[in-house]
Structure 1
Amino acid sequence: MKPESFFSGGVPHGPHGRPVCGSVGLGATGERTVIDLAGRGLAPLVALGRYRSLAACKPQGARCHLGIVMLILPVKGAFDITAGRITHRLRPGAVLRIPPGHPYWIGAPVQPWGELEWMILHYDPSPAGSALTDAIEILATSPGMPVWQAPDHAAERWGRAFDLAQQERDWISDSLLQHTLTESVLLLLREFTAAQAPVSASPHPGIAQALAWIEDHINQPCGIAELASVAGLSTSRFHEAFRAETGTTPKDFVLRRKIDRARTLLEGATHYSVTEVACLLGFSSSQYFATVFRRYQGIPPSQLRHSPRP
């Protein structure tokens, strides 16, 4: 089966297969649903899309685009997406930011089955600031982490936007669509700046690298030896420096971050079981996950899974 991009139309490749940055096509196909926001007069919101990989297929070629910021949220399955020189394993609940001019491509040997959603934002540093344009500028220019956890209420607004786009179009529906997506961008930005805070505040570059690595690999088992290697420190020195910077041990920090993420998944709109959440976050068993969850949250994870949402 021929692979399709998130967008219609490819980006031409120059010598040695290097991507040449170009414009974005917004055509819809059987695998791709696209809302042309710019065409509705909602710029700097450009487009919102949903991409369903219906069958395994070969990797896509490298692409890049000037003047836009991309936000990508997996909905089902896991996607290996390479942005720049780093490949990120994205699962539901994570968001990937691709700044203007950064090449990206599906990095897995075979593109998996799954579903993801994406938003395109136009970045222009010259216009007068509004909350949305200020948010886009931060997302376009910040050197911070490319992957962070998306709040469920932001992702839910994307789902609402798809519903709004199906309604009969008038100025009210367009205004609701603009408001809903602007709010989602601001919610994502708030989580983005919060996720950067512990890294940017750390004066120790090795610990900053380790903290960023933890956030980017929260779904994997994480040992102190591996973290020390990421930080470029000996195990003993890393443990000492980490505690000085964070006020806790590496093991406690990693478990707390995993449990925070688990609670978000269990309280959110996903349909993962407790066992699936344990697996997604790299726990060796659902029993161990339940023990750790109760230790930090005071309740069993099954209580959140079965609790009605407000």
Structure 2
Amino acid sequence: MRSTEPGVFESSDYYLYTPSTQAVKTFFYPVCTGYFRYAPGYCLKRNSYDSFLIMYIKKGCCTVKLDSQTYTAGAGQIVVLDCYKPHSYYTNTGWETLWLHFDGPVAREYFQMITADTGPVLNLKDDYKFDKYLSKIYQLFRENASIKEALVSQYITNVLTALLVSRESHAGGTVQSEVIEETTAYMSEHMTEPLTLEQLAARASLSPYYFTRLFKKETGFTPHEYLIAIRINAAKFLLKNVPATSIKEVCFRTGFSNESSFCTTFKKWVGSTPSEYRQSS
């Protein structure tokens, strides 16, 4: 479809999509996508447009306003917006952008992770995969191709993953992420041992307070919660896949100190006792 919006050149095009009910419940899905060429002086203000927006600036420069904050994005940069909230963007010089409005059950979680440290304007050191899959989505609609929702969802996931990896490699982020990745790997390998916060923090060369804060930020768990989660997942595997293993043996093979504590913790996390979980389909 050709745009008739004031300030958008006629050579611009866009495509709307109505997802199936299954896609809305299960997948990332496109709402609309396009390639726009904006004239100097273009301005858009919206209270809301129920979706999230990715704009890949190809040429020129645009300014984005969110609440009381102003951000500028130029060629090669990416703008990611929560369009459920009031927002505006404009240009004094004109700009070209490949864009995608999308949504999905975990779209907000991805958006929050991607923009947590950088704000809405991002830089990619290597934009190959990001550009490849964002362009694939646009080309599917431009060529009037058959839309396979699971495949388009995968393309959107690839786009978001490229942005998320960029966020994690933002200044200082890589070292912190590597520290936590090494710690979680160590915890998985040594889950039967009585690991303490002090031990784990010392391995990471961090104070227990800062280590806990960083661990929570990177994983969503405290170190103790993560250790319990590892042990519970290991117990679930043994209960379902090694039926000859007794509950008591599962308890000790997954690092719990006694059977009573194991059963109580398992029910709290899983919602059923180990025996009930083993017997469930």
Q: TM-score, normalised by structure 2?
A: 0.47
* Greater Rg by CA: 2
